[in-house]
Amino acid sequence: MKDCITAALIGAGVRGLEIYGNYALKIPNKLKFVAVAEPEEGRRNKFAKLHNIPKKKCYKNWDDLLSEEKLADVIFICTQDQLHTKPSLQALEKGYDVVLEKPMANNLKECVEIVKKAEETGRKLWVCHVLRYTDFFATIYKIIQKGLLGTLINISHRENIGGFHMAHSYVRGNWCNEEMSSPIILAKCCHDLDLLYWMVNSLPKKLTSFGNLLHFRKENAPKGAPQYCLDGCPIKETCLYYAPRIYIDIVPITQIMQKSENKFLKILGRIRQKHKKFLTILSKIIPLLKRLRFWQDWPVFPLYYGLKENFKDDAKKGILKNSLYGKCVYYCNNNVVDHQIVNIEFENGVTANLIVHGFSPYDGRSLRIDGTNATLIGDFYNYGEKIILYDNFSGKKKLVFKKKLKIATGEHGGGDIELINEIVKSYSNKVEFKPLTSAKESLESHLMAFAAEESRKKGIVVDMEDFRKKSYLA
């Protein structure tokens, strides 16, 4: 039984630094980071300073960290998708339990290899399917399990990616090219496929998928558009993807704040968007407002890899002039689809479809679940969440869940925090602990994602039993 678990971090980016790192800073009696591996010196030093990690426990490369004697109870692996496999396998072999960011790997063979290694070594492997841990999806799962919908018939689930998020991550950013990272149905939607598998409580039987890259192509560039936004874009006042709009004026963030039912956030969002000069003056007096005026959280933070963290407007402009994040979205080296649909028939007869697209005004998921007795409508957005039940017999509706936005950017609706709580709990329990999701269960969503890509590219219906057997034998 342990009161506080020790951890090592591989990859001190947004997830490692801001999510897991902040948890340890806020609740130091539960989680303590004792080592870090990060190739970028600034991030490595920043994390080490925040967590009082001695220099000898700071490593430029993950393999240097893993060449040492075992340093901690658990390792958090937060590298890019294509860099997950080797550190995961070595950490498990070394005797570490592993917390692995999703997706497990960017190819199916390595996903299977990681799960097999966890089973072989008997170590714990958490894949960060954090949405299972949110109050929103936990409520939906309980409603289904209690039979309030009757017999489950169909689920229609949408992953609505905000336009600015699509541009940031999947057109300009780290996941823009599937050969270098992962297809969007894996990188973004293994969350959603995991939820469908969990809620239906049955293995997928057949699967089809369609989708393509329709909009973010050079032939759709506005007339006279330059390679970089700050090189004189003729439509900068009306372009949804104009880089300064996203990273300097943070319009998408202020829109989320103003959409919220939280009155305080509404006011702050309005001031940030409409009264920037006034906010600049106030920020000199009130430190909290300085962070709002010179925004440094997501999506701004990724701009500063290897650069001095100066968040003033002119500094951001300097970065955007030469950064991929400042490039016109129609001239990026992107090839991931910007919309896709996956149709699934499960072995218990339930059908489901998943739609993902990158043209939503706000980030969020929406779903409709139909049963023989009732229909559930759910909205899980970054400005707030709600679940409504419609009774098929009476026609009446009932609001069964509602949650307001508390902060401008959340941690997957609270799912990140609850996952870490479960990890900590697994070490302190006197009885055998069963996690909400196992590595083998997490693998199923990855299988579905890769099957979807095979269906989309080959124009076929995938038999999941055959696909599963081939994958395990590969």
Q: Examine the domain organization and report whether 122 and 95 are in the same domain.
A: yes
Q: Examine the domain organization and report whether 308 and 373 are in the same domain.
A: no
- Assigned domain for 428 exists: no
pTM recorded for the entire structure: 0.92
Task: Answer for the pair 44, 33: CB distance below 8 angstroms, yes or no.
Answer: no
Task: Answer for the pair 408, 395: CB distance below 8 angstroms, yes or no.
Answer: no
Q: Examine the domain organization and report whether 258 and 377 are in the same domain.
A: no
Q: Examine the domain organization and report whether 341 and 452 are in the same domain.
A: yes
Q: Examine the domain organization and report whether 324 and 338 are in the same domain.
A: no
Which is it for the CA torsion 448, 450, 454, 456, positive or negative? positive
Distance (Å, rounded) from C-alpha 91 to C-alpha 89?
6
**In the listed set 71, 95, 127, which residue is the last one of a domain according to the structure?**
127
Q: Examine the domain organization and report whether 249 and 379 are in the same domain.
A: no
Pick out the chain residues at pLDDT < 70: 1-2, 406-411, 429-437, 473-474
Q: Examine the domain organization and report whether 161 and 301 are in the same domain.
A: no
Q: Examine the domain organization and report whether 394 and 463 are in the same domain.
A: yes
Task: Answer for the pair 292, 272: CB distance below 8 angstroms, yes or no.
Answer: yes
Q: Examine the domain organization and report whether 162 and 204 are in the same domain.
A: yes
- Assigned domain for 225 exists: no
Sheet of 152-162, strands arranged across: 397-404, 384-391, 374-381, 364-371, 152-162, 351-360, 339-346, 204-212, 462-463
Q: Examine the domain organization and report whether 15 and 65 are in the same domain.
A: yes
Element (H, E) at 378: strand 374-381
Q: Examine the domain organization and report whether 317 and 390 are in the same domain.
A: no
Q: Examine the domain organization and report whether 457 and 363 are in the same domain.
A: yes
**In the listed set 309, 328, 347, which residue is the last one of a domain according to the structure?**
328
Percent of the chain's residues with pLDDT above 70: 96
Count: domains in the chain: 3
CA-based R_g, the chain, Å: 23
Q: Which domain holds residue 200?
A: 134-216+334-412+439-473
**In the listed set 311, 328, 345, which residue is the last one of a domain according to the structure?**
328
What's the pLDDT score for residue 370? 98
Element (H, E) at 211: strand 204-212
What's the pLDDT score for residue 408? 47
Across-strand partners of 341? Answer: 210, 355
- Assigned domain for 50 exists: yes
